[in-house]
Structure 1
Amino acid sequence: MTQWIRRRQGWLIPIVVAVLALTVGMASGGAIASTQAAPADYCADLYPAASTEYERCRFWDDPSLEGITSIDGQAPASNAAYVTPQPVTFCAAETPPVKKTSGKTMISATSCSRPIACTWNTSTGKYHCKDASGTPVNPPGRICAENPNYACAATPQAPDNPAVALTPTRQPVPTVQAHPTQNAQALQQPAAPTANPALPGTGQQAPTPTASMSTSPAPVSPPSTGTAADPNDPAAQAIQQAQALGLHIWLETDLVAIWQAGADQLKAAAARLAQQANQPNVLGVKFATDLGLRGGFTDPAEVRRFVAETSAALRAVLPPGRRLAVDVVVSELGCGQNRQCVDAMHASFPLLKLAEVERYVLTGAVDAVNVTTPLFNPFLDIYKQAGLSADRVLQQQWMALRIRSWDSRVPGLYIGARELGLAHPDNKPALTGPAAETAVKARLDGPLRLGVQHVVLWTWRQNWSGTAWRLNDAGLRANDVWDALRSRKALRRTSIVFNPRETERSVAEDLREIANIASTVYITTQ
């Protein structure tokens, strides 16, 4: 990944220098720059010659096609950041999946036999829905009873029947005023953190938490169903403070255990999240972390049902224009063409196969997908056994994701990266000097150059297995990683996960420091 990034520096240096000179009076573009040459054919090192993947890689390998947009870093309008409502289409009835052949790849496709399209009417201030023939209809399920933002006939056409499918097939398209970020940390506690292998050329280790699959859902307490947000709730305070700082906001949660607890708890959780989302600057709700890895799922169909039903429950009550996001791990993307690695990933994590993950997230049920960098156990051991370095895994994952072109298969889908590897535990120092800069290049600059629209960094501060993990140092003290991130603030492509129940000093002070780095914050709500 380091070589890949270095090959992209020449054209970006003038842009970054100019931008930072205008905004902060200092040209720090050199922080991402290097003049070291790279191999003549990068793609031949990743894919077999003449393969489809190779041809696509060569297309994207043209530096003139790279499109990181650097802007002047001005804060968004904190009092007028509601997202413009975009069309929403629900699938009131699905036809069974069919197998289609595309080249050598088998793609599972699901079609909808009864689509319902809803468009926003500025005169009435509501969504108005029609079926495929253009006849006005009500949205499906309980939406008429629960969401006043939809115009409905006096007698709802869709009964309150759990058998009615509520899978949205095309959701609101992100607007230019919104910069959603994707991803955040797991809310369930893993077994223990473990160190990442040495980053290329640094000689230092970048520690990352170890992820472990949950064998059963955690006990769930019914969420509050009050009609007004509690001003003493830390999440409500954090939303208010983030608004004042001009930060975009995603509500960070994981609803797997709540969904498993039953429809009543899911409905209550959706109502609570709708209250919190009805605020300026709130982009939407991220409702799953590392989808399919945690929560005790045993079958891909169960994961798809969770996504469809949770999406429908949230769509039924969220304010117009708010979006839905999930985090996913697609560990086989990091394998590239290494068959040993791919086969081991498939055998160990069948729910995380690329084909299955695409069936989870390319249905339109979500508007944003954060892809987690898989350099943590249990995946790390498989990469090591296959002889793949961390640098190689990063190269292969982000290039493979770009080649898949998810955003062209679901127009408007926002794709981000979720990065765990820049945080450090209290019992180990953060990376320093050139090692810190190299790590940020590999884990933030690299994904952005390969088409990811935003990078979500875990974490501001979180206690994990008895140890506090953070990006900066205790007591709001900056370190070299933090300084490297600060030099990239003008790109406005960074988000940070923030749990308002785990602060360094206070919600207000912590968020002020986060605003020095990030344009968006993921606020943990439970």
Structure 2
Amino acid sequence: MRLRQLFVIGLALSILGVGAPAWSQDDPRSCNDLMAADTPAYVVCTWMATPEEAADIARFWLENDGQNMIDAGPMDPITIDCNEPGTECPTGPDGPEGDGEMHDVGDPDVEGAEDGGTPECQNGEECYVDGTGLSAADKAAAEETPAGQAVQAVAQTGMRIWIDTELADDYKAGRLAEAAKKVAALAAAQPGVVGIRFTSQLGFNQTFATADELDTFVTEATTALRTLVPGVKLAAHTLVPVFGCGSDETCQAEVTKKYPLLDPDRIGAWLAKGQIDQLALDSGHLATEYATWKIDAATAQRNQWIQVRARAWDAYAQIAAEDASFTAAQLTEEQAAKAITDRVAAPLQDDAAETVTLWTRWQNDQGQVNRVFGEKWAANTTWEQLKKLGSIRPRLATVYDPANPEVDVTTDMKNLSEVFGQVYLHAA
């Protein structure tokens, strides 16, 4: 009974928050005064139940030792009497699902499904699809590549695995089918691979000149991969600079002109159509892109996640934040803690990004290696601070190139798994 009382009180209080627009500060149900002074004008707050009303609701259910709650009780179940005249209850092969027999909770639905095994097919139908166009030789060849061998090492750590590749260049060169087949073989060769990230900086780099070309690439690449490895998640990395502008219309106009292909409506359409299962939004531009309009990195980041939430992108796909700035310089303990707060905690707390991808090592064109950790895994302050994030480890991911290890793949994966729950394995 006490649990039920607490649930009702919690339910009553949970209806306080952002709701239907309160267009005027004079609106008696407006709670705009509770929001920060710099909150964009298009974000409004209204009480679905005022504090006084919420107290009345809680009091109604708790008074007289909870008698109203007792009297409410569960609703009567909906029942159908098949013997009642005029009622038809379909049976047989065209009837409802199930075998017509009672089963205990937890019993397998189909004979052969015990202990997590694959159930036998009923009536000879095909139970699952294993992809098309991938031979045993394709999978064997994929296993011998650096990425294929790395998959085996990652599997020992328990991290979720994504294959990270770039199909845009292959598409432009007319080799999309061949390239898609190679990366699909990597995903299909061994268990543990949950997805393929098939492109990065989509629409930001100079690969595509027109919006139509961009849409065609996304359609053809995702169609090819879903045909080859149905069930494997597909991801893409990009950025939406206009989001950082917030409500500044001058900023919006200038940034849209500068990045014409990065139209949020176009990107949202890819998600709504189910073409992309995970979208990573880069944060590299947030610190400098908006200086003209006096929008700092923290404000730009907040503006971005407000826009993502407003468009409900997370209803269609998983949204990730991506950050490479931790490799830029060695940080003090205080600097590292602040960077983690700003670049890891904030996107997650803003309730728009579900995961955060941090680059931990990359090499520039001159051969210079940038790291979050010390050379050959020597300890440093930033890495030690990241290791303290064990409670959100499943939400943290990193990118790894097995062709250019820090020490060797096994050693590298063991160390990375102390911080990250997911890894993107680069495949050339």
1:123-522 to structure 2, matched below 5 A, reads 124-127=126-129, 146=133, 226-262=138-174, 265-278=175-188, 279-318=190-229, 320-375=230-285, 381-408=288-315, 410=316, 413-424=317-328, 429-451=329-351, 452-491=353-392, 492-522=394-424
1:98-117 to structure 2, matched below 5 A, reads none
- How far apart are residue 520 of structure 1 and its match? 0.6
Contact 1:331 1:374 in 2 (8 A): no
Letter in 1 for 2:332: T
Which whole-Å CA distance do the structure 1 matches of 2:347 and 2:218 have between them? 26
Amino-acid identity (%) = 27
Q: Which residue of 2 aligns with 1:46?
A: 39
CA distance change for structure 1 residues 443 and 261 in 2, over 3 Å: closer, same or farther? same
Pick the structure with more helix per residue: 2
- How far apart are residue 460 of structure 1 and its match? 3.0
Contact 2:169 2:207 in 1 (8 A): no
Pick the structure with more strand per residue: 1
CA distance change for structure 1 residues 336 and 503 in 2, over 3 Å: closer, same or farther? same
- How far apart are residue 406 of structure 1 and its match? 1.0
- How far apart are residue 321 of structure 1 and its match? 2.1
Letter in 2 for 1:356: R
Contact 1:462 1:499 in 2 (8 A): no
Which whole-Å CA distance do the structure 2 matches of 1:122 and 1:47 have between them? 59
What do the CA deviations read for 1:44-96 (whole angstroms, capped 9, x no partner)?
51311xx3x3349x99xxxxxxxxxxxxxxxxxxxxxxx999xxxxxxxxxxx
Q: Which residue of 1 aligns with 2:57?
A: none
- How far apart are residue 311 of structure 1 and its match? 0.3
Contact 1:496 1:522 in 2 (8 A): yes
Please tell me whether Structure 1 or Structure 2 has the larger radius of gyration of its CA atoms. Answer: 2
Which whole-Å CA distance do the structure 1 matches of 2:211 and 2:275 have between them? 15
- How far apart are residue 359 of structure 1 and its match? 2.9
CA distance change for structure 1 residues 430 and 316 in 2, over 3 Å: closer, same or farther? same
Q: Which residue of 1 aligns with 2:26?
A: none
- How far apart are residue 283 of structure 1 and its match? 0.5
Contact 1:284 1:323 in 2 (8 A): yes
Letter in 1 for 2:149: Q
Letter in 1 for 2:273: T
CA distance change for structure 1 residues 385 and 308 in 2, over 3 Å: closer, same or farther? same
- How far apart are residue 296 of structure 1 and its match? 2.4
Which whole-Å CA distance do the structure 2 matches of 1:389 and 1:441 have between them? 16
Unaligned runs of 5+ in 1: 1-38, 60-82, 86-120, 129-142, 149-224
Contact 2:399 2:424 in 1 (8 A): yes
Residues 476-485 or 449-458, more deviating = 476-485
Which whole-Å CA distance do the structure 1 matches of 2:421 and 2:314 have between them? 22
Which whole-Å CA distance do the structure 2 matches of 1:258 and 1:317 have between them? 17
- How far apart are residue 365 of structure 1 and its match? 0.7
- How far apart are residue 40 of structure 1 and its match? 6.8
What do the CA deviations read for 1:170-206 (whole angstroms, capped 9, x no partner)?
xxxxxxxxxxxxxxxxxxxxxxxxxxxxxxxxxxxxx
CA distance change for structure 1 residues 392 and 464 in 2, over 3 Å: closer, same or farther? farther
Which whole-Å CA distance do the structure 2 matches of 1:84 and 1:436 have between them? 46
1:63-82 to structure 2, matched below 5 A, reads none
Which whole-Å CA distance do the structure 2 matches of 1:461 and 1:478 have between them? 18
- How far apart are residue 465 of structure 1 and its match? 4.7
TM-score after normalising by structure 1:
0.57
Note the aligned Cα RMSD (angstroms).
2.9
Letter in 2 for 1:293: F
- How far apart are residue 407 of structure 1 and its match? 2.6
Which whole-Å CA distance do the structure 1 matches of 2:213 and 2:142 have between them? 34
Which whole-Å CA distance do the structure 2 matches of 1:242 and 1:519 have between them? 10
CA distance change for structure 1 residues 407 and 257 in 2, over 3 Å: closer, same or farther? same
> Which secondary structure state, in structure 2, belongs to the residue aligned with residue 513 of structure 1?
helix
> Which secondary structure state, in structure 2, belongs to the residue aligned with residue 273 of structure 1?
helix
Q: Which residue of 2 aligns with 1:97?
A: none
TM-score after normalising by structure 2:
0.69
Letter in 1 for 2:319: I
Letter in 1 for 2:155: Q
CA distance change for structure 1 residues 269 and 466 in 2, over 3 Å: closer, same or farther? same
Letter in 1 for 2:127: G
Contact 1:461 1:503 in 2 (8 A): no
Contact 2:271 2:313 in 1 (8 A): no
Higher relative contact order structure (alpha carbons within 8 Å, sequence separation ≥ 6): 1
Which whole-Å CA distance do the structure 1 matches of 2:143 and 2:215 have between them? 35
Residues 514-523 or 226-235, more deviating = 226-235
- How far apart are residue 345 of structure 1 and its match? 0.8
Q: Which residue of 2 aligns with 1:22?
A: none
Q: How many residues align?
A: 323
